[in-house]
Chains A and B, each alone.
Chain A
Amino acid sequence: MALRNIIGKRIGNGIGLVGRRSLSTSTSDVENRNAKSMNLYSAINQALHLALETDPRAFVFGEDVSFGGVFRCTTGLADRFGKARVFNTPLCEQGIVGFGIGLAAMGNRAIAEIQFADYIYPAFDQIVNEAAKFRYRSGNQFNCGGLTIRAPYGAVGHGGHYHSQSPEAFFCHVPGIKVVIPRSPRQAKGLLLSCIRDPNPVVFFEPKWLYRLAVEEVPEHDYMLPLSKAEVIRQGSDITLVGWGAQLSIMEQACIEAEKDGISCELIDLKTLIPWDKETVEASVRKTGRVLISHEAPVTGGFGAEISASIVERCFLRLEAPVARVCGLDTPFPLVFEPFYMPSKNKVLDAIKATVNY
């Protein structure tokens, strides 16, 4: 059923209900045994507990993770696994990631937390010049594949410039790392476990808006969801919509309304942004002939541009309309103007109609 049913009321947007419906397609990914209703931060917390439980060489570290973290994602870990494995670090992102690279280079699973994606930039050198190239430059003598960097990203209703950013595009331009973004609690648990266990350094962006407001049935067992595999979460025939993270719930609402006007929308969750699943998106576009991409990050140079260019290269003759992008504006993320900045349901809906009627 609808993504919107799992999302609670968003501050300032007044959308949706707190509900407990699980996503229709996710049941095909994972067995639903012993599922418990929980929110995003609890699901992430479960994943971290499992990661540390199943691998004695897994570590969780970052600013304030010891007491549970500013978003409670690391609750209970220090008590259960001890201060040597779950610990606070000094306030220094380049140190957190550099330290994590070192830990990972010794075969450990280093799960580093950056408190907000907005603060990841001091670590950009370590991520791009070191982590991403660690295996390649050494001729595979060394690698830091055990490194996973987690960071809350995206709009939260009142975050302004420095608590709302979606910096995924910067990282999608770096060969050697993976970028993964979950859309819901159940997805987050499975994807995070895959990221932690993937033998490549991964940046995992968690939609902070969904931490408390998204509630879903999440299986209690240890399960993993595949990386670099996009998921069609709503079948349709007139237009393909591509998105990730929190934006998918907005897009889904637009799809439901578009349906009332007789437009059948196919909605795809990309999940992994690099390396991304071109095949699934291409197959969908071949079916529908139209594509719309939506993300919170500013439109210029956003990851939607890469998807658009690739689809045009591969599906040019099939396309019935230009590729549409409904994204954040090219401004720093504003505070009082957030509702204007954001790619809202109606902006998406307008673009669906314009594309279909092209």
Chain B
Amino acid sequence: MAIWCRVSSRTIANANHMRKFINPASGLSPALNRGRPLFSDGNRRHLDSLPRNRATRVWFQRFKSTLAEKQQDSFLSSDSDEDLQSLQFPGGKVSYTSEMNFISESSETRVPCYRVLDDDGELIPDSHFQQVSEEVAVKMYSKMVSLQIMDTIFYEAQRQGRISFYLTSAGEEAINIASAAALSEQDIILPQYREPGVLLWRGFTLQEFADQCFGNKADYGKGRQMPIHYGSKKHNFFTISSPIATQLPQAAGIAYSLKMDNKKACVVSYIGDGGTSEGDFHAGLNFAAVMEAPVIFFCRNNGWAISTNVSEQFRSDGIVVKGRAYGIRSIRVDGNDALAVYTAVSAAREMAVNEHRPILIEALTYRVGHHSTSDDSTKYRKLDEIVYWKNARNPVNRFRNWVQSNGWWSEQQETQLRNSVRKQLLEAIQVAEKAEKPPLSEMFRDVYDYPPSNLEEQEKHLRETISRHPSDYPSDIPV
């Protein structure tokens, strides 16, 4: 729970009296209430240091319930200070004040970012995190490496003209893998498009990735969409669509269904920093909050929406502060810290599933790669910025250091893994490239559950055209 504290000049004399009601630890769920409170004593000192003649506002909340009918804490109305009498309005009781104060557009300090590993992958002393076993840690690390290699090789394949399009998750390997690792297989994923690592974690094979990118007969999507638009029912990973943020209100509906079916599962929906500007972000979060739907909204704030920097995307303190606007519990986490991401998602999942509430996670990170193969990001950002994040802030190296320091990984395993994944990928690409494309009939199926008469007519007509002009058509599509 976040506490906003600004103190009015009138009540600063009562600061001590007020302070007993400002307890960062209260209202936190057990999952978060371990270790240090979110706001250190530094804030309390900040309270005392405010000049007394400055008119600022007292505003604190005890986060008790999502229901609008619940009253504000009774201590507000029982306080003798005339500023704290209360009024009843639709939506509940609210205290009033005769001092006019605007809530500041921003906090004095930004919401801090939860991290557990330092930049070198050393555990920060006294940090609170969820321990992972050797098996899980090694799997996480291996998948992060696999994602890196997969991205490199598929990107190259596009450059060579073998696939039409690709986009990488470079720099976001910890987000991809660690968030997936913290979930159960029954949790339903609604991706944006930069989360193939979630599929990788769940067991989607390199061949399956390659098949979709090549749009061949084995592609579950039957060659209908551009590369990277993966979808896998058996992995509870809904098919990617290009429009941004459309998945967010859908996530609320899916989560509501899980709740109605009493499933011990949640939905995790991913979005980038740019996507939070879409109307569907507002729609999705608001619906999830009102419907009390168990969905984790995971925002990958990687600083860039194609060429648009976050400074041109919003004027708020990132995305984490928006959660409160919807009555949604939120956290900001270091997206390049696999352990922190893992811990935050685990905690979020528990709250979502057990308390039937949405959670917002903002993971700060950096998009090391270009937006896609259709982009050259050196056109709008400095090369040294990219290189800095690629090397000094690399999430894979950071996690590797931690895994190695536990004695769970070696240089030899590293070499073995990289060679093995690389080899598998090159083979998968070869197989995918040679494989047959889906037959022409697949163009007409699945528009509806059964093809209506107009589509039957059009298929018939098209086949006649093809027989008259076969050279107009690609020869690798079986007619």
Contact = CB atoms under 8 A, between A and B. Distances in A.
Nearest to A112: B253
A99 B220 contact: no
Contact of A110 (B253, B287, B448): B253
Contact of A94 (B260, B283, B446, B454): B283
Nearest 3 pairs of A and B residues by beta carbon: A102-B253, A98-B249, A95-B283
A240 to B, nearest CB: 19
A101 B165 CA distance: 28
A104 to B, nearest CB: 8
A275 B457 CA distance: 13
A142 B249 contact: no
Contacts of A105: 238, 250, 253-254
Interface string B251-292: 111111110110000000000000000011011101100110
A97 B250 CA distance: 8
Contact of B231 (A57, A142, A279): A142
B287 to A, nearest CB: 5
A135 B250 contact: no
Contacts of B241: 129-130, 133, 137
A88 B328 CA distance: 20
Contacts of B449: 135, 143, 145, 199-200
B376 to A, nearest CB: 28
B346 to A, nearest CB: 24
B251 A102 contact: yes
A140 interface: yes
Contacts of A26: none
Nearest to B263: A106
Interface in B281-331: 282-284, 286-287, 290-291
B290 A89 contact: yes
Interface stretch (B20-28, B108-116, B222-230, B462-470): B222-230
* Chain B CB within 10 Å, residue with most, of A87, A97, A99, A125: A99
Given A137-B224, A139-B221, A106 B283 contact: no
12 contacts: A92-B287, A95-B283, A97-B249, A98-B283, A101-B253, A105-B238, A106-B253, A137-B229, A138-B221, A141-B239, A142-B231, A278-B454
Given A57-B260, A102-B250, 18 more contacts: A92-B283, A98-B280, A98-B283, A99-B291, A101-B250, A102-B256, A105-B238, A105-B253, A125-B246, A130-B243, A130-B250, A135-B448, A139-B219, A140-B445, A145-B449, A200-B448, A275-B453, A278-B453
Interface residues of A, number: 47
Interface string A234-249: 0000000000000000
Contacts of A84: 260
Interface of B: 219-222, 224-225, 229, 231-233, 238-239, 241, 243, 246, 248-258, 260-261, 279-280, 282-284, 286-287, 290-291, 445-449, 452-454
A295 B239 CA distance: 38
B287 A275 contact: no
Contacts of A103: 253-254, 256-257
Contacts of B279: 94, 122
A103 B238 CA distance: 13
A62 interface: no
Contacts of A100: 253
Contacts of B454: 275, 278
Interface in A63-114: 84, 87, 89-90, 92, 94-95, 97-108, 110
A137 B254 contact: no
B253 A275 contact: no
Contacts of B220: 138-139, 141
Contacts of A107: 257
